[in-house]
Amino acid sequence: METQSLWEHTLTFFPQYLAALRERVAPDATVAVVGASDGKFVLPLAAAGYRVVAIERDALALRGGQVRLPGDSDAYAMGLIDRLELEELHARVEVIEGDFLEGEPLDMQCDAVWTSCSWHYSANHHHPLAEFVDRMQRLVRPGGVFGAEFMMPVEKRHHSVEHYTSPERLHRHFLGDWVVLLTLHTNEFTERAHVGRPHDHTHRMGLLLAARSHTLTDRF
């Protein structure tokens, strides 16, 4: 599905996550998207029949506004809320505006959770990566699916920041009630300039999919 997102053409492991959803949760399951941005993943999930909880703190991503594009040109970008109205998907999506890492963890459980390249942003470094992972895990009810794609270290400075991680390092967060279903990673690749990165740049990306046991131990 073309979403007209600012991030439409950035690389993603989202198809692997969708395959896990089709295999493991009901067709009308509830999926939480942490870092929903302007809807690159929210709209396809809602269009596929899922109920979506979209969690985002960026007012521009939610409501739209002027953005600086590569080449120093300005443009108006439509926000998630207007895009949902335009596509008539708003009834399937609950939008939660706020910082996912601030305050008490969200008091809800969903059938699945997903985040895309949110961990490495410097604004999220004031909380340990383990806390971010734990808060996401708490959203997943027994039998549900956890999915995250993330940036891996490329530059020397990345290796001193735990939020640039790897599938191997993440395994220690998925013990007990969890089983890791799939891990993948890319080699270094060049991504074209996009909003926030005005020049071509190099990335490595990883994916981890996990399932929560139907029988939980006491971990709260």
For 109, the domain range is 14-212
Assigned domain for 131 exists: yes
> Do 36 and 63 form a contact (C-beta atoms < 8 A)?
no
- Phi first, then psi, for residue 79 (nearest 5°) are -90, 170
Assigned domain for 7 exists: no
Q: Which residue has the higher pLDDT, 65 or 99?
A: 99
Residue 106 pLDDT greater than 50, yes or no: yes
> Do 54 and 36 form a contact (C-beta atoms < 8 A)?
yes
Residue 90 pLDDT greater than 50, yes or no: yes
Coil, strand, or helix at residue 101? Answer: coil
CA distance 81 to 203: 30
For residue 197, the 8-state DSSP code is B
The CATH number of whichever domain residue 181 belongs to comes to 3.40.50.150
CA distance 219 to 85: 39
Q: What is the pTM of this model?
A: 0.91
Assigned domain for 77 exists: yes
Give per-residue pLDDT as tens, 170-189: 999 999 999 999 999 999 98
> Do 62 and 81 form a contact (C-beta atoms < 8 A)?
yes
| Sign of the alpha-carbon torsion through 141, 145, 150, 152 | positive
Please give the helix or strand (H or E) that residue 93 lies within, else none.
strand 93-97
Please report, rounded to a whole number, the percentage of residues in the chain having pLDDT higher than 90.
77
Assigned domain for 3 exists: no
Residue 220 pLDDT greater than 60, yes or no: no
For residue 106, the 8-state DSSP code is P
Question: What is the tally of structural domains in the chain?
Answer: 1
CA distance 94 to 78: 18
